[in-house]
Amino acid sequence: MPELKWRMASSFPKSLDTIYGAGEDFAKRVAGLTDNKFQIRVFAAGEIVPGLQVVDAVQNETVECGHTASYYYVGKDPTFAFDTAVPFGLNTRQHNSWVYNGGGLELMREFYKDYNMTSFLMSHTGGQMGGWWRKEIKTPDDMKGVKMRIGGFAGQVLQKLGVVPQQLAGGDIYPALEKGTIDAAEWVGPYDDQKLGFNKVAQYYYYPGWWEAAPRCRSMSD
């Protein structure tokens, strides 16, 4: 076998041992299966490119592969959302069934051809929380004007309630929430959210995150 050395740009900070760690686990698995002939070095968000520019880096061949959540890129095309999560969408088992048995993988790979990429399933975070809020939400009117970090297509849904959606990478959420640049933020669940320190700067935590019943992260390669 030839020796290959690839770089993987991650959308996630190293502090997230679950999500970022999935990329490292993937790299170790590939190395083990190839007697270390195929080595992938993982770079956290910001080390090569910012967390929300991973698709661009893979598409432009700045790096050979990336680990990201495709719904970060709905601004390019709403189709990206289906590969991660859509509001009121599929749960984990349903999503897996669609991907592996319902033609989902083939459909998305056909879509990714236009971006000079192919995709592989990497990690699954399960049902998510409704996020951390600096003020209590009692009625839909309380959401008007709230600047909220929220990923994917869900931000466009919450806009209908007056929310001002903000797209931020994981590592950028805490400082924005602490400084009051944003008023609320959703990420994953208690473990990862506390890793990022959201509980220190926002008092109210809500459930469920109906916009992400089973979000999926992807490994993408050019």
Same domain, 119 and 20: yes
Domain count, the chain: 2
Same domain, 98 and 17: yes
Same domain, 137 and 73: no
Same domain, 112 and 139: no
What is the pLDDT at residue 218? 67
E strand spans, the chain: 4-10, 38-43, 65-68, 118-124, 131-133, 147-149, 164-166, 184-185, 204-206, 216-221
Same domain, 97 and 84: yes
Same domain, 114 and 15: yes
Same domain, 20 and 98: yes
What is the pLDDT at residue 162? 97
Same domain, 56 and 113: yes
pTM beyond 0.85: the answer is yes
Same domain, 19 and 98: yes
What is the pLDDT at residue 214? 77
Same domain, 78 and 182: no
Same domain, 53 and 19: yes
What is the pLDDT at residue 60? 95
CATH label of the domain that carries residue 146: 3.40.190.10
What are 174's two structure tokens? 């805490």
Q: Which domain holds residue 90?
A: 4-126+215-221
> Cα–Cα distance between 132 and 185 in angstroms, integer?
5
Same domain, 101 and 193: no
The pLDDT tens digits of the residues spanning 202-220 come to 999 999 899 988 777 767 7
Strands 118-124 and 131-133: unpaired
CATH label of the domain that carries residue 104: 3.40.190.170
Q: From first to last of its 222 residues, what are the pLDDT tens digits of the chain?
A: 899 999 999 999 999 999 999 999 999 999 999 999 999 999 999 999 999 999 999 999 999 999 999 999 999 999 999 999 999 999 888 999 999 999 999 999 999 999 999 999 887 888 889 999 999 999 999 999 999 999 889 999 999 999 999 999 999 999 999 999 999 999 999 999 999 999 999 999 999 899 988 777 767 777
